[in-house]
Amino acid sequence: MVDRWIKRVLPRGLYGRAALILIVPIVTIQLVVSVVFIQRHFADVTQQMTRALVLELAYLTRIVDAAPDLAQARTEAGAVARPLGLGLTLPAEAPQDESRRFYDLSGETVTETLRRGLPGFTGIDLATDTSRVWVGIETGKGPMEVSFNRGRVSASNPHQLLVLMVFTSALMTLIAFLFLRNQLRPIRRLARAADAFGKGRPIPYRPSGATEVRAAGRAFLDMRARIERQIEQRTLMLSGVSHDLRTPLTRLKLELSMAEDTPETRAMLRDINDMGRMIDTFLDFSRADALDDPEEVDPAALLDRVAQRAGAAEGTVELGALPRGQRASLRPMAVERALQNLIDNGLRHGTRVALSLYLRPGALVFTVEDDGPGIPEDQRELAMQPFQRLDESRNQNRGSGAGLGLAIAADIARGHGGALHLGTSARLGGLRADLVLAR
């Protein structure tokens, strides 16, 4: 419970976490210095200054007690108090308790020192005027009130140190933030390059920044180059194999067309045509990442074109309400091929297909639903792998399939920074395929 709350409160980004690591020690140091230095050092200074004043107040008390009458006491004590900068009232309504503001921490030290040093101490007023102090003392001639400047018993400007600490800390924090931003900029550039490559939109990238970031950048460039070479080699290999297979298939097809028309020759022609379609499917799979370049398109218009070609006019393909007027950077030919594969897959195993489009923050979702038998949940991941044949409720290779329809759609989705999700259609009862593409 506490761990989840801490994770929700803490920043998720590297910049925020690094800033937190930077700020927390600074604030902690300031608090420790404030408590240890100000409370201890200034408390000692206040105590020493108050003790010196206690001697003066005790001397005034002895003068008042030694005078023969009140008038003489007032005259003698006043003559001593004026040079010392003390205000004297005798007799007076002297303070009878402690009065100070809640944030006046040094006032507590002043009060305790006066209480211990003056036997006749009755009270102190530190709240009426923060620049003056009124002390009540019980004498033989009645209550006596003595006032003096607050600077006589406590440091007058202890907050200057705090102001200097805060200003210096703020300046150093700003400099550290600027330095931190410069250090994080290469990481952000690397993240943008990796994200763009994952969406099939490679952008120029040059490693920069600290040594570790440069090493990560070079490793990313090497990885990107290896993946691009692997894709290119796969495309060349499948294209070469397919091209080499077309020549003997064409010769066989020509020879069979010139042979006598028998059930055997017709069956052989069907097999040859099936092999040709399988070769075309292999080429589609190998060229899924190289069909076209990304461009700004209207996803709703794209889905309209696919639906019309797939048979929306015949009623086999249903098209729901679409959010129009939106733009997204997609490879239109690749996305159309992925949707066409999903529609063909649905019509091969059902009679109706429903198409829809949803917009999410940062993503487009093309949904293809059918009324076929569907795919069991434990076989959905297997169904999206190349050359897989399902032998139970649904076989996407029935007839002339090569087991690549869903694999091509999933590959195109990954090339757009998305994924293909399979589920059960609540609308038609068959398979639901969500082609999720990053916007």
Reported as a single tens digit per residue, the pLDDT across 41-54 is 777 888 899 999 99
The β-bridge partners of 369 are 354, 432
For residue 123, what are its two tokens?
């009270």
Share of the chain above pLDDT 90, in %: 16
- Sign of the alpha-carbon dihedral angle for 244, 245, 250, 256: positive
Residue 163 lies in a domain: no
What are the E-state strand segments in 204-307? 295-297
For 166-206, what is each residue's pLDDT tens digit? 787 788 778 877 887 787 888 888 888 887 787 667 788 88
Residue 1 lies in a domain: no
What is the Cα–Cα distance from 100 to 130, expressed in whole angstroms? 9
Dihedral, CA of residue 295, residue 296, residue 298 and residue 301, to nearest 10:
-30
For residue 83, what are its two tokens?
């040079």
Residue 326 lies in a domain: yes
Both 291 and 431 in one domain: the answer is yes
What is the Cα–Cα distance from 63 to 140, expressed in whole angstroms? 10
CATH code for the domain of 319: 3.30.565.10
Residue 270 lies in a domain: no
Residue 95 lies in a domain: yes
The β-bridge partners of 296 are 329
Average model confidence (pLDDT) for the chain? Answer: 81
Residue 313 pLDDT > 70: no
pLDDT of 39:
66
Q: Which of 50-64, 239-253, 411-425 has the lowest mean pLDDT?
A: 239-253
- Of 156, 178, 213, the last residue of a domain is 156
Nearest to 70 by CA among 176, 158, 142, 153: 142
What is the Cα–Cα distance from 152 to 175, expressed in whole angstroms? 41
Nearest to 330 by CA among 367, 305, 298: 298
pLDDT of 384:
81
What are the E-state strand segments in 160-259? none
Share of the chain above pLDDT 70, in %: 84
Widest CA span in the chain: 154
Which is higher by pLDDT, 10 or 400? 10
**CB 186, CB 217: distance < 8 Å:** yes
- Segment 399-425 shows an average pLDDT of 78
Show the domain range for 60. Answer: 11-156
Number of domains observed in the structure of the chain: 2
CATH code for the domain of 39: 3.30.450
For residue 25, what are its two tokens?
């020690």
Query: Where does the pLDDT of residue 270 fall: very low under 50, low under 70, confident under 90, or very high at 90 and above?
Result: confident
Phi and psi, residue 428, nearest 5° = -115, -15
Element (H, E) at 395: none
CA distances from 229 to 48, 64, 225, 237, 416 (A): 81, 104, 6, 12, 19
Per-range mean pLDDT, top range of 9-23, 110-124, 219-233, 234-248: 110-124
Phi and psi, residue 343, nearest 5° = -65, -45
Query: Where does the pLDDT of residue 394 fall: very low under 50, low under 70, confident under 90, or very high at 90 and above?
Result: very low
Q: Count the Cβ atoms, other than its own, within 10 Å of residue 18.
A: 17
Residue 15 lies in a domain: yes
For 92-125, what is each residue's pLDDT tens digit? 888 888 888 887 878 888 999 999 999 889 999 9
- Of 156, 175, 199, the last residue of a domain is 156
Nearest to 239 by CA among 273, 289, 286: 286
- Of 156, 185, 204, the last residue of a domain is 156
Q: Given the structure tokens 């390059």, which residue do they identify? A: 193
What is the Cα–Cα distance from 396 to 422, expressed in whole angstroms? 14
Residue 213 lies in a domain: no
CA distances from 144 to 92, 100, 267, 398 (A): 6, 20, 127, 112
For residue 145, what are its two tokens?
């009130």
> Taking the CA atoms of the chain, what radius of gyration do you get in angstroms?
44
pLDDT of 308:
83
Which is higher by pLDDT, 34 or 134? 134
Phi and psi, residue 205, nearest 5° = -145, 135
Please state whether beta strands 363-370 and 431-438 pair in parallel, antiparallel, or not at all (unpaired): antiparallel
What is the Cα–Cα distance from 67 to 407, expressed in whole angstroms? 111
pTM score of the predicted model = 0.51
Which is higher by pLDDT, 257 or 431? 431
pLDDT of 393:
43
